[in-house]
Amino acid sequence: MTKRIIVGVTGASGSIYALTLIKVLALMEWQVELVMTSTGEKVLTFETGADRQSFPDNVHIHENTNLFSSLASGSFRTHGMVVIPCSMNTLGLMATGTGDHLLARAAQVTLKERRPLVVVPREMPYNIIHLENMLRLARAGATIMPASPGFYHHPQEIQDLVNHVVGRVLDQFGVDHTLFERWSGV
């Protein structure tokens, strides 16, 4: 099977996580199937300066309004999906199995096909609705990974913190990387 992963980008702040993940996967010659909410695309450009032309050829952008996209079908094989950053609105849509846009549908397909779904919520604090939606997704098989970097690797700059979160996401898919120094004990 082609090394293929779906990356969903929503309107939560933290687009640097998505951009870093996409760049790392593209450099590793993964086919990235990218779907962005309209607000996600705006936040990505606002926070990072990246736009649709910023991505390499192995990043295929799917329109969030296109429910005829290959991502809407379980017969389209991928290694899974990550939603990074994930807004509470999109998290709610995924948790309830609702929504008339591709990102939520692709997440539903990922779960029904028993493929890894990693959700990286970035907003805080969480209210009880957010927590219950995260629990519902976790019970359905998703991995919830808040954007909470570790500090044991002594980060020197923001990109070090970003790399830690992105590296931990890659770990969920079994993708080898050198984005941070792993803990080896003291």
Residues of the binding site for FMN: 11-13, 37, 87-90, 122
The letter for the amino acid at 142 is A
Token readout for 80 is: 């899974």
What is d(CA 155, CA 164) in angstroms, rounded to the nearest whole number?
A: 9
d(CA 56, CA 58): 6
- Specify binding-site residues for dimethylallyl phosphate: 152, 168
> Binding site, residues?
11-13, 37, 87-90, 122, 152, 168
Q: Rounded to whole angstroms, how far apart are CA atoms 33 and 70?
A: 10
Integer Cα distance of 106 and 104 in angstroms: 5
